[in-house]
């Protein structure tokens, strides 16, 4: 492993050299600066040697990830710089930067601690952003500086001007303001007790409405939020909004539960525990009436770290649901250790049950197995009466789906609740 000595002067020399030869051969270069976030905190937590171990690991990953690099150096205690030759397509640079951030974020062990490092990336390009090494360095510093503000997320800041990138960057920036200007909202889809068909809970689903009325679904903007660094704030917004509106729905004496989806990067972020903790302290919803939905596939990446965060949240009394169950790699042995209260069988199995006996058998077995381990079972994507009846016969606890109720804005959800509460015997 290359020793992680700081070599600022050496790097500047290399960069000058590369700029000169790029100039002669009429080539394009990219200068990438990578900052490891929170190094002082790691130094504090793991000792200085622990911090250095992280730097060494990151340097090794950089080398592996940036195979075409012309030079890689540590240029400051928490910083690396890389020079790569540019091929014509600027999108490739954004893609490889994003991949690099993902590579750097992979959890690993330092001593007996699991660490998942957050990095920020700044990029400048020769000749677009500077004709000299000095100019490129100052552009890249500016680029890195503009990533500051989000403590935990990773960022790609580049000054390349491809339309696609500009659109994504714009969308990322808009998302930041969306949180403030009320263009985000939560829709609520009821979850019903399958024995009585009485509503017991709802799943909060995020929607983003643009000024022109276009509604963007989370499938489209969550990945942008992950890349642009606003996912942390979005998660925080969703949790606080769901708790606040949950209190409103339950006023004065109801006890409907509410669930919020969290994405992979939030689950691996220790900050999630604090977000949940402080949201519960602010809003009066009892923790037992709050559920976090995490997808099965997120757990796989690093079950140990993920389970640790989930356990801490569960210790507060919050429920954990495993979403899209059956689509990830599910080792049955997870049933033993998973810190969860509920599994949500993926829509694909439920939809297929309509005319496929095998899927019905699969769903039946999942229900039985989950029950043996004390887990509550939710079927999502119920779209017809026959499927509902099959699930009831199989002993499934809770149901969700367009046949029962669609996702609704808060006011409609409240109205809907009033309607079913009034109807004697509920639906059926
Ligand atoms: O509601 P819809 O079908 O658009 O949801 C699409 C996907 O987005 C689902 O997988 C859902 O779990 C996810 N999703 C919905 N709301 C949120 C949210 O607030 N945060 C995150 N991370 N994902 C969400
Ligand atoms: O990944 P997750 O399970 O969180 O996704 C929930 C998404 O599924 C929501 O966007 C919701 O709109 C959608 N959904 C809920 N019920 C149904 C249904 O019966 N059919 C279909 N196609 N989608 C559904
Ligand atoms: Mn969900």
Q: Please, which pLDDT band fits residue 317 given cuts at 50, 70 and 90?
A: very high
Domains in the chain, number = 2
The rounded Å distance from CA 350 to ligand 3 centre is 14
Answer yes or no: is 211 within a domain: yes
Answer yes or no: is 1 within a domain: no
Is 196 found in the same domain as 134?
no
Answer yes or no: is 146 within a domain: yes
Q: Which residue has the tokens 């969860």?
A: 340
Is 236 found in the same domain as 275?
yes
User: Which of 161, 188, 209 is a domain's end point?
Assistant: 161
CATH number for the domain that contains residue 94: 3.30.70.270
Question: Which residues constitute the domain of residue 81?
Answer: 8-161
Under 8 Å CB-to-CB from 74, ≥6 apart: which residues?
A: 4, 5, 6, 7, 55, 59, 80
The model's pLDDT over 9-62, given as tens digits with 9 standing for 90+, comes to: 999 999 999 999 999 998 889 999 999 988 888 888 888 999 999 999 999 999
- 130: which 2 tokens? 């500077």
Q: Which residues of 83-99 are buried (b: 16+ CB within 10 A; e: fewer)?
A: bbebeeebeebbebbbe
CATH number for the domain that contains residue 326: 3.20.20.450
The rounded Å distance from CA 119 to ligand 2 centre is 33
Separation CA 307–CA 309 (nearest Å): 6
Q: Are 239 and 266 spatial neighbours (Cβ–Cβ below 8 Å)?
A: no
pLDDT for 383 equals 97
Is 203 found in the same domain as 339?
yes
Answer yes or no: is 3 within a domain: no
Element (H, E) at 53: helix 39-65
| Average pLDDT taken over every residue of the chain | 86
- Indicate if ligand 1 lies below 6 Å from the C-beta of 223: no
Element (H, E) at 232: helix 231-250
Q: Which of 218, 402, 404, 408 to mutate to test the pocket of ligand 2 (most atoms within 8 A of CB)?
A: 402
Is 270 found in the same domain as 127?
no
The model's pLDDT over 374-411, given as tens digits with 9 standing for 90+, comes to: 999 999 999 999 999 999 999 999 999 999 999 999 99
The model's pLDDT over 78-114, given as tens digits with 9 standing for 90+, comes to: 999 999 987 655 666 777 777 788 889 888 888 888 8
Strand partners, 333: none
- Indicate if ligand 1 lies below 6 Å from the C-beta of 263: yes
Number of other CB atoms surrounding residue 138 within 10 Å: 14
Answer yes or no: is 2 within a domain: no
Is 315 found in the same domain as 190?
yes
Give ligand 2 pocket residues (Cβ under 6 A). 189, 205, 261, 293, 323-324, 347, 380-383, 400-402, 407
The rounded Å distance from CA 170 to ligand 2 centre is 28
Answer yes or no: is 319 within a domain: yes
Is 267 found in the same domain as 293?
yes
Alpha-helix runs per DSSP H in 293-374: 296-301, 303-315, 334-337, 347-352, 357-372
Q: What mean pLDDT is predicted for residues 179-188?
A: 88
Is 156 found in the same domain as 210?
no
Element (H, E) at 52: helix 39-65
| Residue whose CA lies nearest to ligand 1 atom number 12 | 261
Is 87 found in the same domain as 134?
yes
Q: What mean pLDDT is predicted for residues 306-322?
A: 95
Q: What mean pLDDT is predicted for residues 344-370?
A: 93
Answer yes or no: is 268 within a domain: yes
Q: Which ligand is nearest to the CA of 189?
A: 2
Is 308 found in the same domain as 186?
yes
The rounded Å distance from CA 402 to ligand 1 centre is 16
The rounded Å distance from CA 261 to ligand 1 centre is 6
Task: Give 161's DSSP letter.
Answer: -
pLDDT for 87 equals 62
Q: Please, which pLDDT band fits residue 274 given cuts at 50, 70 and 90?
A: very high
Q: Which residue has the tokens 């499927």?
A: 387
Strand partners, 188: 204, 408
Q: Please, which pLDDT band fits residue 331 given cuts at 50, 70 and 90?
A: low
Is 111 found in the same domain as 36?
yes
Q: What mean pLDDT is predicted for residues 222-233?
A: 78
Is 185 found in the same domain as 293?
yes
Strand partners, 257: 201
Q: Which residue has the tokens 């109807």?
A: 423
Is 91 found in the same domain as 23?
yes
pLDDT for 89 equals 59
Q: pTM for this one?
A: 0.67
Answer yes or no: is 192 within a domain: yes
User: Which of 161, 188, 215 is a domain's end point?
Assistant: 161
| Residue whose CA lies nearest to ligand 2 atom number 8 | 381
Under 8 Å CB-to-CB from 402, ≥6 apart: which residues?
A: 381, 382, 383
The model's pLDDT over 132-161, given as tens digits with 9 standing for 90+, comes to: 999 899 888 877 876 655 433 334 444 443
- 132: which 2 tokens? 């000299």
User: Which of 119, 144, 161 is a domain's end point?
Assistant: 161
Q: Are 119 and 99 spatial neighbours (Cβ–Cβ below 8 Å)?
A: no
Indicate which atom in ligand 1 lies nearest the CA of residue 217. Answer: 4
């Amino acid at each position: 492993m290359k020793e992680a000595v700081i070599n600022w002067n050496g790097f500047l020399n290399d960069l000058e050299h590369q700029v000169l030869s790029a100039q002669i051969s009429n080539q394009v270069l990219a200068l990438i600066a990578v900052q490891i976030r929170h190094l002082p905190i790691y130094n504090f937590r793991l000792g200085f040697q622990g911090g250095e171990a992280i730097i060494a690991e990151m340097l090794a990953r950089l080398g592996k990830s940036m195979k075409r690099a012309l030079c890689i150096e540590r240029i400051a205690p928490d910083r690396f710089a890389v020079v790569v030759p540019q091929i014509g397509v600027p999108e490739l640079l954004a893609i490889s930067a994003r991949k690099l951030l993902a590579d750097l974020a992979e959890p690993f062990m330092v001593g007996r601690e699991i660490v998942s490092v957050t990095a920020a990336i700044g990029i400048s390009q020769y000749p677009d952003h500077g004709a000299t090494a000095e100019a490129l360095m100052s552009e890249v510093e500016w680029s890195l500086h503009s990533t500051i503000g989000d403590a935990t997320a990773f960022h790609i800041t580049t000054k390349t001007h491809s339309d696609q990138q500009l659109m994504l960057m714009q969308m990322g920036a808009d998302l930041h303001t969306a949180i403030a200007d009320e263009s985000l909202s939560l829709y609520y889809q009821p979850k019903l007790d399958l024995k009585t068909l009485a509503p017991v809970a709802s799943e909060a689903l995020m929607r983003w409405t643009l000024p022109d009325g276009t509604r963007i679904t989370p499938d489209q903007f969550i990945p942008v939020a992950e890349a642009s660094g606003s996912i942390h704030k979005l998660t925080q917004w969703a949790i606080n909004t769901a708790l606040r509106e949950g209190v409103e729905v339950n006023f004065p004496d109801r006890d409907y539960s509410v669930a919020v989806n969290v994405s992979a990067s939030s689950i691996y972020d220790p900050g999630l525990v604090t977000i949940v903790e402080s949201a519960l302290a602010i809003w009066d919803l009892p923790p037992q009436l709050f559920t976090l939905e995490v997808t099965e596939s997120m757990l796989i990446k690093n079950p140990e770290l993920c389970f640790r965060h989930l356990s801490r949240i569960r210790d507060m009394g919050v429920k954990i649901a495993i979403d899209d169950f059956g689509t990830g790699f599910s080792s049955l042995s997870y049933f033993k250790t998973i810190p969860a209260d509920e599994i949500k069988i993926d829509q694909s199995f439920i939809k297929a049950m309509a005319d496929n006996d095998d899927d019905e058998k699969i769903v039946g077995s999942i229900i039985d197995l989950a029950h043996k381990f004390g887990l509550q079972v939710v079927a999502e994507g119920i779209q017809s009466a026959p499927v509902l009846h099959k699930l009831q016969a199989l002993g499934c606890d809770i149901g969700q789906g367009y046949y029962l109720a669609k996702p609704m804005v808060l006011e409609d959800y409240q109205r809907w609740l009033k309607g079913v509460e009034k109807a004697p015997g509920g639906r059926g």
